[in-house]
Amino acid sequence: MSTVLAWGNAISGALGLTGYGVSSVTVPLQVRSLENVVVQNISSGRNHTLFCLRNGKVLSCGANDYKQCGQEGLSSKLDQVNCLGVQHVIQVAAGSSHSVALTQAHEVFTWGRNDSGQLGRGNISKAEQQIPKLVKSLAIHCVLQVSCGNDHTLTLTNDGLMFTWGSNSYGQLGLGRRTSEYQNLPELISCVRGIPVQQVAAGGNHSLMLSKSGAFYGWGRNSFGQLGLNDTQDYSLPQQCRPIRSQRIKYICCGENHTACLTGDGRVFTFGEGSYGQLGHNSNNNEILPRQVIELSGSEVSQIACGRYHSLAYVPKLGRLYAFGIGRNGQLGLSSTENKSIPISLPISFAPSCDHRGTQSSMQVNNLGPELRIRSIYAGGDQSFIIAQYADPPFESDDFRIEDPSRQILTLSQSRIDVLRSLNAADLPPSEIVDDLEKIFSSASCLNGSFLLPNDEHYGSNSKKHGLDMNAVRKFFEDLGNVSNRAIMQHIITNIEQHLIPLLPASPADVEALRLYLILPECHLFDVPKLYSSIICPFAKNILSLDRVALKVLDSWWTSNQPTFFNRLVVIYKQCIQYLLQLPDTVNPLEVTKRETGLLTSFEMLQKLNQMNEANNQIIPYHTFYVPELKDKVNISLDYINWLQQSTNRIKMGGVTIQGTYLCNYPFLFDGPTKSVLLQTDAQIQMQRAGDDATRHNLMGLFSGFAMSGQHFDLVNPYFILSVTRQNLLQDTLRQLQGKRSEHFKKPLKVIFENEEAVDQGGVRKEFFMFFIRDVMDPKYGVFKINDESNLQWFNYWTFEEPCMFGMIGIVCGLAIYNYTIIDLHFPLALYKKLLKKPVTLDDLKELMPTVGRSLQTLLDYDGDDIEEVFHLTFEYFEEQYGETRSVELVSGGANQLVNKSNKQDYVHLYVDYVLNKSVIAQFNAF
């Protein structure tokens, strides 16, 4: 059996003590009328108290002027609230003059004062107010928590929704509107939708909410700074108290105008009104920012409670209860009525927690006999209470820092999979399983509270830290994908499609509300591209419509995750495109719209991901974005022409004709063969234009009078002619290229070998390029050098050739590509990255010079502190050429600067930069 101790204001009988005849009780006294029952929890209002028993009954005592005790007549004596009938109550909450009970069926019953809508039952008669009745509008919800302020009530449901009703004089309902002084029916606080709520609490005229990862929100009255927002302005919408987010807040409670927070390591923060010392900061000042109660530092507090103007804190290791604040009615239990501005231990000791047995004296109150251990503490109004039990047999005190699973919102976990696996494909699943899954997959809050990192690692989630165990997410959905029950899968699909995705906001309330954007893509349903129109693409549209701040957070999370999770996103939307491209033609207007939306959304989503990939130095290889099917399913040449002209494009793909879309806006989707088509198309257009310009010039000359007057007129050849000899092919070519403008190179190329009759239909041109490349690679010119190991060629910065030679070679290479001729050049990827102005890395050097690259990687991987002795390197680059070894300092004074553990990264970076950039800058720029 439990023992209940009470002290404080006894005038109205709210302590449940009988036979004492005093107005104030200054020391804990046993409530004798509760000796033979087990009290589950207690809630005390201004002048009345509710006791919830383990058997589901509710007892009440105290002021009953509004029938808040649910009894007839005066209620100074503790008695049962009989009007609750057979209801099994598991939690009670007391306001100033109204009462709330939460039943085992998770229904809410209210009674008492109702002039500000406190009962949440609409406009009801006075007789109806006095009897506990169901709040019908909440009957369809499963309520987990209830909390009462003076004249308002706050509830939390198992799908993460918060409902509120009652007085709104200070905006304490959090509804964002001040036109109504009260709300007499429960209304959803929609602005925090998606945040996984752990706890709700109501103060006098303010309200609080705590998220699963320690984000603390407050709204309502703030005259004394009780919201911790560094001001005294009232707020009608939830506002985050950012300074305390990093403190790992586990539990919150509040008094009339002050707030207390308990951290994971047992520290206490208070803020708000301090007029009576209720903040415990050794002053009577108000605090508008959270401030730690220093007097309690060094003691690990496990429970806190707030009355109107006083506070309690319990330290289980010592078995001591501390009190501070107003003492006028004895509510501090310190044998006096003095106020205390610092925590003072009650002059009696309780048994410490089981793991910390000490030598404290036994608790002796009214000759209770055996030693007592505190189970839980409560405060409300000007009253204080303890539920205690005999220390033998041993039991653990309640720890408010530990989540009570029965009071927490639904989440996904591996344990649910075990239940689902037991169902066969055709089984009708139990209603409770279906109900839970429907709520979870229709609730952003439930999903966002799932798969959190263990050991409180998810606390302090921010734009750099999402707090999710992504491996657990993947494991869960892999297992869910193997569940054979069809009904379960259909329920999940329906709720994601109809209830989750349509309600996702563009501006989520907090970073914790963004977690589902990491979770949902791991769902096996995203591997089913036929769900493109119901789930996959609507989800992408939500991402693309997020505001800039939210998108920036997602970018950070995606890039901080392992590449495999980012890669999955790309694969999902590539699969959608591939699926749509293979669909047969249709003229059904609805189907046309669906496919068009699906394709465009997938393109845009992949574009977003590609931009992120490039901005973060390629999280995954660029070719992962390629969609090879585009070349065969779409007229790429026509799309390119329309894109150039920006005409009203009508392009056919996915069995439908889409207007106003250019695939060329998404070039990252094109693989090599597709890009080849584009290059050829572009070359044909350029050649056509050059030919047209030449023809136009000639016609204008012929008809402008020059020819008729006998004046000299030069006709422009529509082709670019190269006339060369086989003996001096290289010199002839370079001589003819000198001085030519770029417009000459845009004409179709024709090659003439002097003294030969062959007409160039493409074969002569191909032969020309083959011989040209052969001559350029001749060692006697020394233009390029070939690495013996990789067989790749690179610019020779020791060459005696002028940079103009490299410029001419670059032009010839460009002419070959432009004229559809494949030439045998073995350049490394680094060349093409440099042409695209992308940075080169050690990986590029490994490709060109494998041994050197591996050696540098070995240096980077070496973790010893003796790099100087092992590698003997300085900041120099050495190369042997023509039998001579040349040394180049990579930094000023590099010959005397040893490479060590702290600067090896700099050395490798400088080495790569010199070999691939600085040493060949003149040759590359000319090329």
3-class SS letters over 457-505: CCCCCECCECCECHHHHHHHHHHHHCCCCHHHHHHHHHHHHHHHHHHCC
pLDDT at 368: 46
**Residue 518 in contact with residue 471, Cβ under 8 Å?**
no
Of residues 418 and 273, more confidently modeled: 273
Residue 133 φ/ψ region, left for φ over 0, alpha for ψ in the -120 to 50 degree band, beta for the rest: beta
CA distance from start to end of the chain:
91
Residue ranges, CATH 2.130.10.30, the chain:
1-105+107-140
Which 8-state DSSP code applies to residue 39? E
Overall CATH class of domain 719-827 = alpha beta
pLDDT in tens, 782-791: 677 888 888 8
> What is the Cα–Cα distance from 480 to 415, expressed in whole angstroms?
11
- 550 token code pair: 């939210």
Q: How far is CA 264 from CA 259, 555, 703, in A?
A: 17, 30, 92
The residue assigned the tokens 């706890």 is 199
Give the confidence band of 347 by pLDDT, cuts at 50, 70, 90. very high
pLDDT at 706 over 70: no
Q: Return phi, psi of residue 366, to 5°.
A: 55, 35
Bridge partners (DSSP) listed for residue 753: 724
User: Angle formed by the axes of helices 763-776 and 803-818, to 10°?
Assistant: 150
- 669 token code pair: 């989707």
Region 175-201 average pLDDT: 92
The residue assigned the tokens 């160039």 is 760
Of residues 137 and 724, more confidently modeled: 137
pLDDT at 657: 64
> What is the Cα–Cα distance from 923 to 801, expressed in whole angstroms?
10
- 332 token code pair: 């501090």
pLDDT in tens, 170-186: 999 999 876 689 999 99
Which 8-state DSSP code applies to residue 118? T
Q: How many CB atoms lie within 10 A of CB 903?
A: 15
DSSP notation for 726-767: STTHHHHHHHHHTT--HHHHTSPEEEEETT-----SSHHHHH
Bridge partners (DSSP) listed for residue 249: 263
Lowest-confidence region among 254-268, 616-630, 679-693, 851-865: 679-693
Lowest-confidence region among 78-82, 366-370, 651-655, 841-845: 366-370
The contacts of residue 625 (CB under 8 Å, 6+ apart) are 570, 574, 606, 609, 610, 613, 668, 669
Question: Nearest-CA neighbor of 219 among 307, 304, 134, 152?
Answer: 152
Of residues 883 and 848, more confidently modeled: 848
Which 8-state DSSP code applies to residue 775? H
Strand, helix or coil for residue 558: helix
Q: How many CB atoms lie within 10 A of CB 650?
A: 12
Average pLDDT over the chain reads 89
> What is the Cα–Cα distance from 88 to 107, expressed in whole angstroms?
10
Strand, helix or coil for residue 78: strand
349-366 exposure pattern, b = at least 16 Cβ within 10 A, e = fewer = bbbbbeeeeeeeeebebe
Of residues 869 and 25, more confidently modeled: 25
CATH of domain 842-921: 3.30.2160.10
Question: Nearest-CA neighbor of 853 among 840, 863, 862, 844?
Answer: 844
**Residue 75 in contact with residue 61, Cβ under 8 Å?**
yes
Give the confidence band of 265 by pLDDT, cuts at 50, 70, 90. very high
> What is the Cα–Cα distance from 357 to 352, expressed in whole angstroms?
6
Region 87-96 average pLDDT: 98
Give the confidence band of 395 by pLDDT, cuts at 50, 70, 90. confident
Bridge partners (DSSP) listed for residue 658: 651
> What is the Cα–Cα distance from 211 to 462, expressed in whole angstroms?
13
pLDDT at 127 over 90: no
Q: What percent of the chain has a predicted confidence (pLDDT) above 90?
A: 59
pLDDT in tens, 709-754: 555 556 777 777 888 888 887 788 888 887 777 777 777 888 888 8
> What is the Cα–Cα distance from 168 to 207, expressed in whole angstroms?
11
> What is the Cα–Cα distance from 772 to 811, expressed in whole angstroms?
12
The residue assigned the tokens 């206490």 is 268
> What is the Cα–Cα distance from 211 to 240, expressed in whole angstroms?
11
Which 8-state DSSP code applies to residue 784? E
pLDDT in tens, 274-326: 999 999 999 999 999 999 999 999 999 999 999 999 999 999 999 999 999 99
Which CATH code of 1.20.1250.20, 2.130.10.30, 3.40.718.10, 3.40.50.150 fits the domain covering 1-105+107-140? 2.130.10.30
Q: How far is CA 455 from CA 298, 404, 467, in A?
A: 22, 16, 11
Q: Give the DSSP H/E element, type plus range, for residue 290.
A: strand 287-292
**Residue 756 in contact with residue 763, Cβ under 8 Å?**
no
Question: Nearest-CA neighbor of 670 among 637, 698, 644, 696?
Answer: 637
> What is the Cα–Cα distance from 207 to 172, expressed in whole angstroms?
6
Helix-, strand-, coil-residue percentages of the chain, each rounded to 5: 35, 20, 40
> What is the Cα–Cα distance from 451 to 38, expressed in whole angstroms?
36
pLDDT at 471: 96
Q: How many CB atoms lie within 10 A of CB 169?
A: 18
**Residue 217 in contact with residue 238, Cβ under 8 Å?**
yes
Give the confidence band of 829 by pLDDT, cuts at 50, 70, 90. confident
Bridge partners (DSSP) listed for residue 268: 262
pLDDT at 361 over 50: no
- 925 token code pair: 């720029």
pLDDT at 241: 96
Q: Where are the alpha helices (DSSP H) in 821-916?
A: 829-835, 842-848, 850-861, 867-871, 904-916
- 687 token code pair: 């050649």
Cis before 454 (ω within 30): no
> What is the Cα–Cα distance from 831 to 818, expressed in whole angstroms?
18
DSSP notation for 386-435: EEEEESSS--PPP-TTS--GGGS-----HHHHHHHHTS-TT----HHHHH
pLDDT in tens, 615-663: 998 899 999 999 999 888 888 888 888 887 776 556 666 666 666 678 8
The residue assigned the tokens 């909440």 is 138
Most confident of 80-84, 89-93, 483-487: 89-93
Give the confidence band of 369 by pLDDT, cuts at 50, 70, 90. very low
Bridge partners (DSSP) listed for residue 49: 44, 61
Residue ranges, CATH 3.30.2160.10, the chain:
842-921
